[in-house]
Structure 1
Amino acid sequence: MRKNDSNTSRSDLRKSKKKHKVLRIVLLVFVLLVATAAGFTAYEVHRLNPENRFSNLKVIGGTGNAKQSAGVFNMLLIGSDARKGDSASHTDSMVLIHANLKDHTYNMLSIPRDTRVYMDGYGYTKLTSVQYISQVNHGTQAGIVDAVKAVSNLTGVPINFYAETNYWGLQDMVDAIGGIDMNLPFKVTLTHAWNKAYQGRTYQPGMHSFDGATVTELVHERYSLPGTDYGRQQLQEAALIGIAKKMMQPSNVTRFPALSQSLPKFLMATNMSSEDMVSIGLSARGNFHPEQQIKYRQVKGRGAVMYDDVLKANNDQVILAPDQLKTVIKNYFTN
């Protein structure tokens, strides 16, 4: 009986040792997996950290790198009238952004489409014409670069990134995040709607929930607004704040990587990578308050009939106040 007990004990001991050995191997593999994942995560966090991601940035249309602090960059948002299949388009709106991802401030300056600018090789013309003329003569990419250079020359701001969208791109983006809440500062009547079904619709001041099509029509309107182009700038600000707030909701933050992979649907063109955009999103997570951190700056201008060197005729142009422009750029668009 004792002999059998002894054999059983040794057998159990061997099974126990084998079981513990297997357990140790499983634990070792698990530890290695965790260590590998932790190392990968640490690497990704380091690589996507804004101060690492956005440093020694190149200047579009320039040579070398801009002297900017790490985690700081300048970007031009371009809204164009491009349609599918078009090789050239006019810029309908332009927003210059100075982003500081360290203190989470985003200063924006909307530049009227009819602003008088200098175009290399041609002379003075409207800003809206630069991209179109250059794309017709030199190709799609050259047109975007020339539009960026025209804004950089006008403002003195070195620009690192650009992103161009159109009617359908903005509509798709807003719809992809489930629509937005938009606070209208004044009454808006749609006088030149892209979609004729929206023509003549009126929206009262205050907070509204809008889908992509409505948002797109609102930021395109200008003729019924106080100050026309300057009224449009206020609507653009309201839309951008609405988009930013919706993007930072927990349900959308987790979708940043997936949304960034869908960028070709939203953007006509950009030199910003998906990882750049994920880095921006991660930097804002947990410390993003659009109403306080997104600031729209305005520079007033005067209308004047001026000779257009490109069109070889006089037309209505906007001359931005040079002293005010210089002050705004110095205070909000430099390090």
Structure 2
Amino acid sequence: MSQNNRLNKQKKVRKKRHKILRYTLLTLVVLLIGGTAFGFYEYNKLKPTNHFSHLKPIGEPTKKSINNNSQLSHYKEKAGVFNVLLIGSDARKGSSLGHTDSMVLIHANLNNHTYNMMSIPRDTRVKSDYGYTKLTSVQYISQAKKGTKQGIIDAVKAVSNLTGVPIHYYAETNYWGLQDMVNVLGGIDMNLPFKVTLTHPWYKENKGKTFEAGTHSVNGKMVTELVHERYSLPGTDYGRQQLQQAALIGIAKKVMHPSNITKLPALSRSMSKFLIATNMTNEDMVSIGLGVKNDFHPEEQIKYRQVKGTGKTMYDDILKANNSQIILNDQQLKDIVKKYFSN
């Protein structure tokens, strides 16, 4: 082969290689642009104002409960705003039945970054499909008769009808779920508003332990002991609600701390361990994350509301006997809902 032929052949090979390289680079650019566009589309779709819109309530308030809460008679859903009910169950391991041990209703406004919380006492008198009873019994009896999921939905409906607030999401955890979550985070700091003595702990060795008012670094096991206590607290159930608030703020602060970014994947993968049940999707959780990132100051943005009540001995339609129940202050409930849960 002549020198010219060899040179021509080498030129053709180089030209072919350059052509392949150009096509490859072009393909990569197209994929990159397409991926960026897709990512931009997904990001916009998951922005709270887009994602949390046209939400359908789970336990839609009845006409009667809305009339009783006249401020909600013209309630309109707002983009970026939703209500979620946090449920703490006393269900034991291996059991599908549990009483509602605590309930916290949260009105999340991701537009102005406010999170109004209201605890509902476990012994609050409510009306269920089975008649009047304590709130703590609604989920248990419904689960026994209709199954686990329906039990949660009926509990949500009971709270929605009590307050007149449409509830879009629920998230239920139990002793072990809360303990695992705190442990994955490496423990939390709880700012106790008053002295706490453990009178009915889960573990016998913790009976009688006392914590002075102030901030304490605690692991998952001790967090669950603290939020379970009520008999040594001022206001019993109302005192326990304040401890639950302290735990939620402690968890929120730890989750959003920069040093815990590396733990978030483990936290996400273990979500099924922490939550017994929820109707929130991964997309919902990502959207919430987008809404709170870089602008989350839990002690300032999380506001806690309590509705006072009166203890009375009343007939329980489920138990077919009298027992001690809490009748919430109706006017105070309406005022709190109107001011903090309807905008």
What is the one-letter code of the residue matched to 2:35? Answer: A
Name 1:170's counterpart in structure 2.
178
Give the secondary structure class of the aligned counterpart of 2:190.
strand
Deviations 1:279-310 (A, max 9, x none): 11121111111011111011111111112121
Q: Check the 8 A contact 1:56/1:67 in 2, yes or no.
A: no
- Partner residue in 1 for 2:199: 191
**Structure 1 unmatched runs, 5+:** none
- Specify the alignment match of 2:56 in structure 1: 58
Shift of 1:261: 3.5
CA distance in 1, matches of 2:76, 2:203: 44
How has the CA–CA distance of structure 1 residues 250 and 17 changed in structure 2, closer, same or farther, with 3 Å as cutoff?
farther
1:254 & 1:58 partners in 2: Cα distance? Answer: 34
User: Is the deviation greater in 246-255 or in 181-190?
Assistant: 246-255
Which residue in the other structure is 1:148 paired with? 156
- Secondary structure of the corresponding residue to residue 314 of structure 1: strand
SS, match of residue 136 in structure 1: helix
Superposed counterparts of 1:259-298, under 5 Å: 259-298=267-306
Whether the aligned pair in 1 keeps the contact of 2:59 and 2:160 (CA below 8 Å) is no
Matched, 1:246 2:244: no
Q: Does 1:128 align with 2:140?
A: no
* Cα displacement string for residues 8-39 of structure 1 (whole angstroms, at most 9, x for unaligned residues): 98788667645543442342233123112202
Structure 2 CA distance for partners of 1:235 and 1:220, relative to 1, 3 Å: same
Determine the structure 2 residue equivalent to 1:324: 332
Partner SS for 2:96: coil
Equivalent residue for 1:30?
Answer: 28
Match of 1:311 in 2: 319
Correspondence 1:41 to 2:30 = no
In 2, distance between residues paired with 1:199 and 1:48? 47
CA contact 2:61–2:166 (8 Å) conserved in 1:
no
Counterpart selection for 1:75 from 73, 84, 95 = 84
Percent identity over paired residues: 68
TM value normalised by structure 2: 0.89
Aligned equivalent of 2:118, options 86, 90, 109: 109
Secondary structure at 1:296 match in 2: strand
Correspondent of 2:228 among 198, 220, 223? 220
Residue 256 of structure 1 and its aligned partner are, at CA, apart by: 4.3
250 and 12 in structure 1: CA distance in 2 versus 1, 3 angstrom threshold: farther
Q: Matches of 2:34 and 2:78 in 1, distance apart?
A: 32
TM-score (norm: length of structure 1): 0.91
Count of aligned positions: 330
How far the C-alpha of 1:247 sits from its partner, in A, is: 1.0
Question: Structure 2 counterpart of 1:55, which letter?
Answer: S
C-alpha contact (below 8 Å) 2:61/2:164 kept by paired residues: no
Residue 181 of structure 1 pairs with residue 179 of structure 2: no
Q: Please say if 1:96 is aligned against 2:94.
A: no
- Does the 8 Å contact 1:256/1:281 carry over to 2? no
Q: Contact between 1:260 and 1:278, CA under 8 Å: does it hold in 2?
A: no
Distance 2:278 2:13 in 1: 62
Distance in 1, Cα, partners of 2:30 & 2:186: 40
Kindly provide the CA deviation profile for residues 243-286 of structure 1, in whole angstroms up to 9, marking residues without a partner as x. Answer: 11111123444654553332211111111112211211121111
Offset of residue 201 of structure 1: 1.1
Is contact 1:166–1:268 with CA below 8 Å preserved after alignment?
A: yes
2:72 alignment counterpart? none
TM superposition shift of 1:143: 1.1
| Counterpart residue type for residue 183 of structure 2 | D
Which whole-Å CA distance do the structure 1 matches of 2:92 and 2:238 have between them? Answer: 25
Amino acid at match of 1:107: N
* C-alpha spacing 1:218/1:247, structure 2 compared with 1 (3 Å): same
Q: Aligned partners of 1:284, 1:319: CA distance in 2, in Å?
A: 35
Structure 1: distance between partners of 2:106 and 2:125: 20
Query: Partners of 1:312 and 1:34 in 2: how far apart?
Result: 67
Q: CA RMSD in A?
A: 2.2
Q: Is the 8 A contact 1:78 1:162 kept in 2?
A: yes
